């Protein structure tokens, strides 16, 4: 009795499992049919529409390609223009750099020359100060001559009077800057003008002046009427 109940239960379990397996198979078949239906539904597309769609897409792609080609061409032109401008700017920059270098070189030369001038200026300023000091010293001496200077001045005046009386020579001191001029006279019946080129005192010049003096002492000398006045103030003897 117990064995028959047990066998019955087993048979029922087997039948239930078979039913479940069959149900799953049926569901799978239904799903596959639905997929086939959907596939068939969406695959039914008109060939002409598909062709038009492909042509439309190809046109869009072609327009994009042409636009990109045009943009690339314009970019190439811009790149060439910018490259040309860059080359011009580099050339200009090099020229300006060379000009600046030359100007700096000239400036350095001028600065060196200015330094030399500054040194010379300081040197001349020192010399001017020394000359001004000497001038002021001479002015002071002239304004307040000491006894020794007065004696030397008087001695020089006496020598000048003696030389003039002995030689009978009247010097043209203004003309002496360019030549040696003057005249010789005995104060009575002889007067003779002389003029020698500006030269240093030498033996020939001394001999010529002594000859002029000798001529002024001759008894038979003819009087020459040369109204030439001396260029120094008369000094009373």
Per-residue pLDDT of the chain (237 residues; tens, 9 = 90+): 444 444 444 444 444 455 556 667 777 777 777 767 766 665 555 677 777 777 788 888 888 888 888 999 999 999 999 999 999 999 999 999 999 999 999 999 999 999 999 999 999 999 999 999 999 988 887 777 777 777 888 888 888 888 877 777 887 777 766 778 888 887 777 788 888 776 666 778 778 888 888 887 765 444 444 433 443 334 333
- DSSP assigned state of 177: G
Structural domain contains residue 76: no
pLDDT (0 to 100) of residue 18: 54
3-state secondary structure of 7: helix
Spatial strand order in the sheet of 179-185: 169-171, 179-185, 191-197
Specify whether the CB–CB gap between 237 and 165 falls below 8 A.
Answer: yes
Structural domain contains residue 166: yes
pTM value?
0.33
Tokens of 29: 């078949």
* H or E element, residue 178: none
Specify whether the CB–CB gap between 197 and 232 falls below 8 A.
Answer: no
pLDDT (0 to 100) of residue 232: 37
Structural domain contains residue 65: no
Domain count across the chain: 1
3-state secondary structure of 154: helix
pLDDT (0 to 100) of residue 196: 79
> How far is 23 from 29, CA to CA, in rounded Å?
10
Structural domain contains residue 170: yes
Structural domain contains residue 209: yes
pLDDT (0 to 100) of residue 215: 81
pLDDT (0 to 100) of residue 157: 86
145: left (phi over 0), alpha (psi -120 to 50) or beta: beta
Specify whether the CB–CB gap between 75 and 67 falls below 8 A.
Answer: no
> How far is 123 from 129, CA to CA, in rounded Å?
10
pLDDT (0 to 100) of residue 42: 57
Task: Dump strand ranges (E) for 75-213.
Answer: 169-171, 179-185, 191-197
Structural domain contains residue 211: yes
Residues in the chain, overall count? 237
Structural domain contains residue 152: yes
Tokens of 153: 């001045």
Supply the range of the domain harboring residue 170: 147-217
Structural domain contains residue 79: no
Tokens of 133: 């000091």
pLDDT (0 to 100) of residue 132: 93
């Amino acid at each position: 009795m117990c064995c028959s109940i047990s066998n019955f239960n087993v048979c029922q379990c087997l039948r239930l499992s078979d039913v479940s397996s069959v149900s799953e198979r049926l569901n799978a078949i239904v799903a596959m049919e639905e997929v086939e239906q959907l596939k068939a539904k969406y695959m039914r597309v008109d060939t002409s529409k598909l062709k038009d769609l492909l042509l439309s897409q190809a046109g869009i792609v072609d327009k994009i390609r042409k636009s990109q080609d045009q943009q690339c061409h314009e970019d190439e032109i811009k790149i060439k223009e910018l490259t040309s401008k860059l080359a011009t700017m580099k050339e200009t920059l090099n020229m300006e750099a060379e000009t600046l270098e030359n100007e700096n070189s000239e400036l350095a030369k001028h600065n060196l020359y200015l330094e030399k001038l500054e040194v010379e200026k300081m040197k001349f300023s020192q010399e001017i100060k020394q000359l001004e000091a000497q001038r002021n010293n001479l002015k002071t001496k002239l304004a307040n001559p000491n006894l020794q200077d007065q004696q030397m001045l008087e001695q020089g005046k006496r020598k000048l009077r003696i030389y003039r009386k002995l030689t009978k020579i009247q010097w043209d001191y203004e003309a002496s800057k360019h030549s040696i001029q003057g005249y010789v006279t005995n104060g009575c019946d002889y007067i003779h003008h002389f003029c020698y080129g500006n030269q240093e005192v030498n033996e020939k010049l001394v001999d010529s002046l002594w000859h002029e003096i000798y001529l002024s002492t001759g008894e038979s000398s003819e009087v020459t009427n040369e109204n030439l006045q001396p260029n120094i103030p008369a000094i009373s003897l």
